[in-house]
Structures are given as C-alpha cells and as structure tokens.
Amino acid sequence: MKMISTRQLITLQTRVILSLLLRETRATFGTSSFGYIWAIVTPAASVGLLVLIFDLGGRIAPFGESLALFFATGILTLQLFNELSGKLMTALNANKALLTYPIIKDMDTLIARILLVSITYMLIMVVFFSVLIWLDLASLPARIETVIAAYFATIVIGSGIGMTNALITSFWDTWKQIEKIITRPLFFISGIFYVPSQLPPEAISVLKWNPILHLVEWYRQGYYPNYSSLILDKSYPVFLGVGFLLIGVAGERLFRKVRN
C-alpha cells in the first residue's frame, strides 16, 4: 500500500489552510477589498471613541503623556484575546458543512481562524499606533521585540483558550453563553484604564491571577521606555497558554470520533 510522505502531508495541509484563510476572509469581510478595510477601521475607531469620551470627561493618562496610547496598549491586547477565544469557540460548529469535503479537517479550520484574527489584529495595531504617532500622541515603541513577544503570547493564550472553548462547545452548546459572562469582567480587571502596580496590595494579589493583565503589562513594558511593573511574570501567561493549547489539541484528537 502506498504511503503519503510527511512532506506531502504538510504541503496538503498548508494548501487547505491557506484556501480556508482566503475563504474566511471573504465570508467575514465581504468580497470587496473595502470590506476588509472596515475590519481594521471599526476596532480602531471604537478605541478612538472610548479615548475621546474619557478625554472629554477630563481624564488624564494614568501613565505617560497620552491617554490614547495607554488605552490602546490595553484594549487592543484584550480585543485580540477576546476575538481569538470567541472566533475559535464557534469554529467547529460553524464549519460543519465544510467537513463534507473529507480533505478538510477540524484542525485546519481552527488554524485558519487563528491566522485570520492574528493577521487582522497585527494590521489594526500597526494602523492605530501609526495614526497616534502621526498625530503626535505617541512615540515609536521603545522595545519593539518585547511588543512583538507580547503580541505572540496573546495569540498563544487566545488560541489555547479558544480551542478549549471550541471543544467544550462541541459537547455543550450553553458554554457559549457562560463563557461570555465569565469573560465580560476582563475589561475591568485587565488594567486597561489604570496602572495595576499602583493598586493596593490586596487588589494586586487577586488581579495577578488574570493572565490578560500580565499580557497588557508586558505590552506596555515594551512600548514605554520606563514602565516598570510589580506584577508582570511573563512565564505565567505563556505556560497557561501552552497548557490550554495542549488541552485543546489533545481534546480534539481524543474526542474526534465522539464529536461528530
């Protein structure tokens, strides 16, 4: 019996994932290239609006000169996480029809969505920070490599939790609603509009369990030349993310036969 070599399998999977990526882009953002521009403009504009509201309310930046920069570092990180964990959660059920083409496997649809969200958010961040720099509301990031590392750590944990969500949802649909309730407070407990290190120690001892808070701190430490965090432990979100990824991947494999 003929066997397929590993290289052929990798070529095949890459081909399938790229096709899915193209398809998802079109399905989500419409067929015109203008549709994809909206996908970048909308989140950027919503952050801009939030900044404007706080600015009109007479709020000053908790750190640094620019309120907009401070918010953006927090909220874009949180949104990237939310988008990944949410989009992956529905990936298995939404793409059931696709699995009629046996060449497409569940894991391919998950990977395609991770790529789509990650690339979109990378563009959003580049556009948003470029506009801030152009408006003189921000400078270039102090340590770009740290910012990039924080971005990838966010992708790891977002994908890990997203895959785990997808797995739970494929057995128990109500999880979608419950997950929404659980993740809603993240907006308030992830240090988006305050500097976590300035909170009382009792608050810190609780909030430090939130991995998204660490990601936000990580991102800021990269962006600002002098942002020092009492809380940041880079290994925590990374280990948690890898842990969830393993649960997601192993679960997908173990329950493959029962799920369908």
Site residues for other proteins per CB under 8 A: 1-3, 12, 15-16, 18-20, 22-23, 26-27, 31, 97-104, 256-257, 260
- Closest C-alpha to 71, from 91, 53, 86: 53
What letter does residue 98 receive in the DSSP assignment? G
* Nearer of residues 31 and 46 to other proteins, judged by Cβ: 31
* Closest C-alpha among 130, 142, 129, 139 to residue 228: 142
Comparing CB distances to other proteins, the nearer of 31 and 130 is: 31
Distance from the Cα of residue 62 to its chain's centroid:
24
d(CA 197, CA 191): 9
- Smallest distance, Å, CB 30 to other proteins? 9
In angstroms, give the least distance from the CB of 23 to other proteins.
Answer: 5
Kind and range of the H or E element at 236? helix 235-254
CA atoms within 13 A on the CB side of 9: 5
The answer to whether 177 touches 168, Cβ cutoff 8 Å, is no
Least distance to other proteins, CB of residue 92, Å: 15
CB of residue 100 vs other proteins: minimum separation in angstroms? 4
Rounded CA separation 85/109 (Å): 14
Toward other proteins, which CB reaches closer, 8 or 46? 8
Cβ closer to other proteins: 12 or 119? Answer: 12
Supply the minimum distance, in Å, between the C-beta of residue 115 and other proteins.
15
| Nearest distance from C-beta of residue 15 to other proteins, angstroms | 6
For other proteins, which is the closer residue by CB, 106 or 179? 106
Nearer to other proteins, 1 or 60 (CB): 1
The CA distance from 257 to 187, in Å, is 37
In a 3-state reduction of DSSP, which class is residue 37?
A: helix
